[in-house]
């Protein structure tokens, strides 16, 4: 396929909603597309997974009380948009993939730096960490019954690299050429990375991309214009035979539900207590989601209710409300050129109502942090944090060249009620200092277009609220690069405030290829101080706390700060209450 045809296919996929803006950004950077092309691609793609109306209420399925079998029903707000694990860059899709496909390894429990078997039973590295060997489960098979062996693993990762889509950068940062993968024997595969790579295992356990797919089935179904059978996967979602996970998609009613049933030949076996069936139900309306949980017609929902709903459900004796830390941080982007000086940006950082936002808007589902959460390596526990001080804020803003009565613009997503509250709290503080804050409400698509687009700084508002990010795996460079590097400005990423700091660029260049953990911590401590105390590009609200609502009788669930919104389906069951 020539380059023009390949780009045309990407735009067709974007308009069809097969990847989101975040995926388009990653894909464009990976393929080396020009910034205007990347910007146009992101404009064509939806900001988030699209929701559609859901059918009427489902009758409750049998709920055995002995812990074995039965159905587990989880509610999501929108349809899964892409069914190719090597293409999708979306955590809701990853929830499905973690049940139907397997990676070589996965994160263990709630840890972000410990691992447990998935397809690989054992793994090891050589002395300098430049080569990794994985020993596979000897009886693993794909859903079509064919062996899931080392040759199949190499074929899968070869497709991942050659398709070059979505989350490929998760692995291509470490493995660029399929020849770096060596099949030692049917149960053993080795990755020769060429230099020490301490982040290779974290990347291999990312929920974005490193899933093993059945290349034999894909080869049989590829066609001209669909050389990787990507489109075929979108059209054949019911048991395509490409996964090896514990569950198979038995039924897919688009925009309504996915029904997963257990794969009898799963190499992990079915002894003990496991659900026979998983139902992923699409329910766009917030009120309906809450009602289904309260009525016992659904078993679970994660981070798709309002903070007020969560507070109310905490008192419901039939539900478990579990709250936990994530790797996600939310902030307000500041327009560096329009705010004139670093003193002004520091001033507005002092003007933000941190405590009111945490307690009044997020209802406690947020804790103070800088740009890096405490769940990611390199976090500085002594990071500088601004406190609300309107007198100091006004002094710094006036010092930077503004005068009383000046008006500033604040843009936010009109559909985000939490952000609406935050904008009003911030507006009140700005007005109390003698300035004005004009609130600009747009839909989420327009907000994404603005941040990711190439419009000049003078055409952008002073502030864009409610921007959040989390890394693909436990790595601070992966958190910072898309948001704060100079290359991430003007359509190259989400550095929507055109912030540039030369020392930060130097730190990031070294952190990208670090080999010594102590040196990384040292670099990140300086980077976090630049991003906060010295030269803030953003106002950091804090680190988001996720929640999962579960029926009282569900057991075996645990959360992970990097697998946001996912469930350990295979390890879960229903117990007596």
Is the pLDDT at 253 greater than 70, yes or no? yes
- Please give the helix or strand (H or E) that residue 191 lies within, else none: strand 188-192
For residue 39, tell me if it sits in a domain. yes
The model's pTM: 0.85
For residue 270, tell me if it sits in a domain. no
Local confidence band at 491 (pLDDT 50, 70, 90 cut-offs)? confident
Least confidently predicted of 78-82, 274-278, 494-498: 78-82
Is the pLDDT at 200 greater than 60, yes or no? yes
Euclidean distance between the first and the last CA atom of the chain, given in angstroms as a whole number: 58
Mean pLDDT on 462-476: 96
Mean pLDDT on 318-347: 97
In residues, how long is the chain? 577
* The domain boundary residue, chosen from 46, 63, 83: 46
Q: Minimal CA–CA distance to 499: which of 371, 328, 406, 351?
A: 371
b/e for 262-289, b at 16 or more Cβ within 10 A? bbeebbbebeebbbebbbbbbbbeeeeb
Torsion of CA 358, 323, 294, 574, to 10 degrees: 180
* pLDDT tens, position by position, 184-196: 999 999 999 999 9
> How far is 330 from 541, CA to CA, in rounded Å?
6
Is the pLDDT at 68 greater than 80, yes or no? no
Distances (CA, A) of 325 to 365, 374, 472, 546, 562: 9, 9, 16, 6, 10
- CB distance 85 to 209 below 8 Å: yes
Distances (CA, A) of 553 to 64, 299, 300, 380, 559: 10, 9, 11, 39, 17
Average pLDDT across the chain, whole number: 91
pLDDT for the residue 493: 87
> How far is 97 from 84, CA to CA, in rounded Å?
9
Parent domain of 411: 325-545
DSSP state of 62: P
Per-position DSSP letters for 79-131, written without gaps between them: ------TTT---HHHHHHHHHHSB-SEEE-TT-SS-EEESSEEEEEE-TTSSE
pLDDT for the residue 40: 64
For residue 198, with 0-12 CB atoms within 10 Å meaning exposed, 13-18 middle and 19 or more buried, which class applies? middle
* pLDDT tens, position by position, 377-400: 999 999 999 999 999 999 999 999
Provide the CATH number for the domain around residue 390.
3.10.105.10
Torsion of CA 180, 181, 182, 187, to 10 degrees: 160
pLDDT for the residue 297: 97
Pairing of strands 115-117, 105-107: antiparallel
pLDDT for the residue 15: 60
- β-partners of residue 116 are 106
* pLDDT tens, position by position, 90-136: 889 999 999 999 999 999 999 999 999 999 999 999 999 999 999 99
3-state secondary structure 310-326: HHHHCCCCCEEEEEEEE
DSSP state of 563: S
> How far is 488 from 477, CA to CA, in rounded Å?
13
> How far is 253 from 422, CA to CA, in rounded Å?
38
pLDDT for the residue 69: 85
pLDDT for the residue 565: 94
Local confidence band at 66 (pLDDT 50, 70, 90 cut-offs)? very low
For residue 208, with 0-12 CB atoms within 10 Å meaning exposed, 13-18 middle and 19 or more buried, which class applies? buried
φ, ψ for residue 131, nearest 5 deg: -145, 135
For residue 455, tell me if it sits in a domain. yes
Local confidence band at 3 (pLDDT 50, 70, 90 cut-offs)? low
- Please give the helix or strand (H or E) that residue 526 lies within, else none: helix 517-529
* pLDDT tens, position by position, 129-186: 999 999 999 999 999 999 999 999 999 999 999 999 989 999 999 999 999 999 999 9
- CB distance 561 to 335 below 8 Å: no
396 Cβ neighbours under 8 A, 6+ residues apart: 343, 344, 346, 347, 350
Mean pLDDT on 409-437: 96
Per-position DSSP letters for 378-437, written without gaps between them: T--TT-------HHHHHHHHHHTT--TT-EEEEEEETT-HHHHHHHHHHHHHHHHTT-EE
For residue 144, tell me if it sits in a domain. no
For residue 399, tell me if it sits in a domain. yes
> How far is 204 from 199, CA to CA, in rounded Å?
9
Query: Left (φ > 0), alpha (ψ -120 to 50) or beta: where does 435 sit?
Result: beta
Mean pLDDT on 457-472: 96
Is the pLDDT at 46 greater than 90, yes or no? no
Q: Minimal CA–CA distance to 402: which of 436, 443, 368?
A: 436
Distances (CA, A) of 296 to 18, 258, 468, 545: 33, 19, 32, 25
- CB distance 215 to 159 below 8 Å: yes
Per-position DSSP letters for 197-232, written without gaps between them: -TTHHHHHT-SSS--B--HHHHHHH-BTTBTT-HHH
For residue 78, tell me if it sits in a domain. no
- Please give the helix or strand (H or E) that residue 451 lies within, else none: helix 444-452
For helices 476-484 and 502-512, angle between their N-to-C axes, nearest 10 degrees: 140
Question: How many CB atoms neighbour CB 537 within 10 A?
Answer: 26
Number of independent structural domains in the chain: 2
- β-partners of residue 75 are 281, 301
Local confidence band at 45 (pLDDT 50, 70, 90 cut-offs)? low
Share of the chain above pLDDT 70, in %: 88
């Amino acid at each position: 396929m020539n380059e023009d045809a390949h780009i045309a296919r990407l735009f067709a996929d974007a308009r069809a909603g097969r990847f989101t803006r975040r995926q388009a950004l990653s894909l464009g950077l990976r393929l080396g597309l020009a910034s205007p092309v990347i910007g146009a691609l992101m404009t064509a793609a939806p900001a988030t997974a699209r929701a559609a109306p859901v059918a009427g209420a489902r009758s409750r399925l049998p709920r055995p009380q002995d812990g074995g079998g039965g159905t587990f029903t989880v509610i999501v707000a929108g349809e899964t948009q892409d069914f190719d694990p090597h293409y999708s860059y979306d955590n809701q899709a990853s929830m499905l993939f973690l049940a139907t496909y397997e990676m070589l390894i996965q994160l263990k429990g709630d840890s972000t730096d410990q691992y447990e078997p998935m397809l690989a039973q054992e793994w090891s590295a050589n002395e300098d960490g430049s080569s990794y060997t994985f020993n596979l489960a000897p009886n693993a098979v794909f859903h079509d019954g064919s062996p899931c062996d080392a040759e199949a693993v190499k074929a899968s990762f070869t497709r991942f690299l050659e398709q070059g889509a979505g989350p490929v950068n998760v692995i291509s940062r470490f493995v660029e050429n399929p020849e770096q993968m060596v099949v030692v024997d049917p149960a053993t595969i080795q990755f020769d990375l060429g230099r020490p790579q301490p982040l290779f295992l974290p990347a291999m356990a990312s929920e974005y991309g490193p899933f093993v797919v059945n290349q034999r089935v894909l080869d049989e179904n590829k066609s001209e214009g669909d050389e990787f059978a990507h489109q075929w996967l979108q059209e054949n979602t019911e048991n395509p035979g490409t996964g090896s996970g514990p569950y198979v998609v038995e039924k897919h009613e688009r925009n309504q539900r996915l029904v997963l049933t257990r794969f009898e030949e799963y190499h992990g076996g079915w002894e003990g207590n496991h659900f026979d069936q998983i139902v992923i139900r699409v329910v766009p309306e917030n009120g309906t989601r809450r009602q289904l949980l309260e009525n016992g017609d659904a078993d679970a929902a994660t981070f798709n209710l309002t903070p007020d709903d969560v507070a109310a459900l905490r008192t419901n004796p039939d539900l478990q409300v579990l709250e936990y830390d994530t790797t996600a941080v939310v902030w307000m982007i500041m327009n560096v050129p329009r705010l004139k000086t670093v003193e002004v940006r520091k001033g507005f950082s002092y003007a933000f109502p941190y405590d009111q936002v945490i307690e009044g808007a997020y209802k406690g589902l947020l804790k103070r942090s800088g740009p890096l959460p405490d769940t990611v390596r390199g976090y500085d526990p002594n990071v500088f944090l601004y406190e609300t001080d309107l007198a100091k804020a006004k002094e710094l803003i006036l010092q930077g060249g503004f005068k009383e009565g000046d008006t500033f613009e604040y843009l936010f997503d009109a559909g985000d009620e939490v952000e609406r509250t935050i904008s009003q709290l911030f507006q009140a503080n700005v007005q109390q200092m003698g300035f004005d804050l004009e609130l600009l409400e747009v839909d989420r698509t327009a907000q994404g277009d603005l941040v990711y687009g190439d419009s000049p700084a003078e055409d952008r508002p002073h502030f864009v609220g409610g921007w959040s990010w989390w890394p693909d795996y436990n790595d601070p460079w992966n958190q910072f690069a898309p948001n704060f590097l100079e290359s991430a400005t003007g359509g190259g990423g989400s550095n929507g405030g055109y912030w540039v700091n030369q020392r930060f660029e130097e730190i990031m260049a070294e952190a990208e290829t670090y080999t010594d953990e102590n040196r990384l911590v040292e670099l990140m401590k300086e980077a976090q101080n630049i991003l906060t105390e010295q030269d803030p590009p953003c106002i950091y609200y804090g680190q988001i706390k996720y929640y999962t609502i579960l029926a009282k009788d569900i057991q075996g669930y645990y959360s992970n700060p990097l697998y946001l919104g996912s469930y350990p389906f295979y390890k879960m069951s229903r117990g007596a209450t």
